Amino acid sequence: MRPQVVAHRGASHEIAEHTLGAYVAALDVGAEALECDVRLTADGHLVCVHDRTLKRTAQTRGVVSTMELADLAELDFAKWKNPWIDLDDEAPDRDEKLDRVLTLRTLLETVRDYSARTGRRVELAIETKHPTRYGGLVEKRLVELLAEFGWAGRDAPVRVMSFSYTALQRVERLAPGLRLVQLIEHSRNWAMLSRVIGPEWIVGPGIEVLRDHPKLGRRITRAGHDLHVWTVNKPKDLDICLDLGVKAVISDRPAFMLELLDR
C-alpha cells in the first residue's frame, strides 16, 4: 500500500503556508491529508501559525501568543511569499480571506465541508507547538474543539502530533481514542522515547534524520510503530520512504508526490 500524501502547511511550496489558499490548493490537487501547526492566541483561539513570532510570515513585530485574533486578522500572511505581487498587473485579484490568519476552526470546517461535498475522506495532522506560555491549555482547547466536530474518537479523521512527549500524554488523557504522532528531530531522541511512548503511537522522524541514520527507520518499525515522515519533497527522499514502508509522507509539494506515486 502506498503512503498517504499529506500537504505540509498546505500546498506550501507554491502558496504561502498555513493560509486558506494553500489548503484549498492542496485539496484541489488531491492531497489525502492536511498538516498544520497550531498556537493559542491571547484570547483563546487556535490559529494555524508555525513560528512563535510574526516576523517571517506576517512581516511585522509581535508574538502570536500575546495578540488577540482580531489583531492577527488585520495582517497579511501571504505577501511574504510573493513580495512583488502588487507590481504585477497581470496577477489575478486575490480573495483576501485566502491570505489572512487561518483559525483551526475554519480549517476543520473546510475539511468537513469538502469531504461532505465530494465524498472523499481527507484527514488532518495537527501539530501542537511547544514550549508555549499556555502549556497544557493548548491541548485542552484542541480536544474541546475536535469534540465539537465529533472528531475526538478513534475513527476521527484527525491525528495529533508534537515533538513534546508530555503534550501527547495530555492528549491521550483527554481523548484516549485519538491517534498520536511522536515527532523526532534527532536520532538520539529515539533511545529514550522508545521506552516510554505508547505501543500504538505513530513515530514521525524528519527525512534528514533518516538520511543521516539509515538504520533508524528499521529500528522504529521493528519496535512496532508506523512511520509518518516530514518533509519529503524530492524523489530520492520518497524512495527512502517507500523502502521503509512509510505510512504517510508529509510534503510541501503534494501534487508532485502524488504524481511520483501514481507513476
Residues taking part in catalysis: 8, 50
Q: What is the number of other CB atoms lying within 10 angstroms of the CB of residue 143? A: 19
Q: Measured between alpha carbons, how far is residue 158 from residues 9, 149, 197, 225, 259 in Å?
A: 15, 11, 19, 18, 25
| DSSP secondary structure, 177-220, as one string | TSEEEEEESSTHHHHHHHHHS-TT-EEEEBHHHHHH-TTHHHHH
Q: Measured between alpha carbons, how far is residue 202 from residues 47, 69, 198, 248 in Å?
A: 24, 32, 9, 10
Give, rounded to a whole angstrom, the gap between the first and last alpha carbons of the chain: 14
Contact 220, 244 (CB under 8 A): no
